[in-house]
A and B are shown apart, each in its own frame.
Chain A
Amino acid sequence: DAGVTQSPTHLIKTRGQQVTLRCSPKSGHDTVSWYQQALGQGPQFIFQYYEEEERQRGNFPDRFSGHQFPNYSSELNVNALLLGDSALYLCASSLGQAGGYTFGSGTRLTVV
């Protein structure tokens, strides 16, 4: 039973560029949440997608956007990258919006 799959594992981008991160949820899960984890910090909630719509958003600027596809997979897009966007980006899937999370191993984004 595959868990949450994220791609790519690592990514290096230049300041000002745009990036797309991808997430496939655990089998049977229909909801995807994205978190940003800076080095030495706990994860911070970015947003949650359910039924292909953004349902709740954390304190992140509009440069962060997302999408959920009919097969429940999701993308996180970040525009106009800043050095401060360097972090581990975690995808968590759940059954329903209030269900228990299963986290992926994350995408390590480095902005130079």
Chain B
Amino acid sequence: QKEVEQDPGPLSVPEGAIVSLNCTYSNSAFQYFMWYRQYSRKGPELLMYTYSSGNKEDGRFTAQVDKSSKYISLFIRDSQPSDSATYLCAMSVPSGSARQLTFGSGTQLTVLP
């Protein structure tokens, strides 16, 4: 069993839809949670970062963490064609030394105009 499982998709939605992307994890030592967006032929870019249970909002994006259920989500409101990309969840344990991220396998999202 992988430490991080991500809904594989692919996901195709019409412009303006609300998108929900989800990951579960098995390692309760994970304390930092991130969502990355990866466009084709590009490296991942950080969208959201959180370390506590609850919701964190940034514009059209909301990250939700439920540590008791080991479940994280990313919601995208008013989705745009420019949101079409692969979304990766990532997690790490607290460490004063090297930060090693454990990624999900990614969900490919297409927003249709």
Contact = CB atoms under 8 A, between A and B. Distances in A.
Given A41-B105, A42-B103, A100-B49, A48 B98 contact: yes
Interface of B: 4, 6, 41-46, 49, 88, 90, 95-106
A98 B101 CA distance: 10
A56 B43 contact: no
A105 B41 contact: yes
| Interface size classification for chain A | 20 to 34
B101 A101 contact: yes
B101 A45 contact: yes
Contacts of B43: 4, 90, 92, 103-106
A99 interface: yes
A58 interface: yes
Nearest to A47: B98
B99 A42 contact: no
A92 B45 CA distance: 10
A56 B103 contact: no
A57 B98 CA distance: 9
A103 B44 contact: yes
Interface string A40-72: 111111001010000110100000000000000
Nearest to B98: A56
A42 B97 contact: no
Contacts of B95: 97-98
A44 to B, nearest CB: 7
A24 interface: no
Contacts of B97: 55-56, 97-98
**Chain A CB within 10 Å — which of B97, B98, B105 has the most?**
B98
Contacts of B105: 40-42
19 contacts: A35-B101, A40-B106, A41-B105, A42-B6, A43-B101, A43-B103, A45-B102, A48-B98, A48-B99, A50-B98, A94-B99, A97-B95, A97-B96, A97-B98, A97-B99, A99-B99, A103-B44, A104-B43, A105-B41
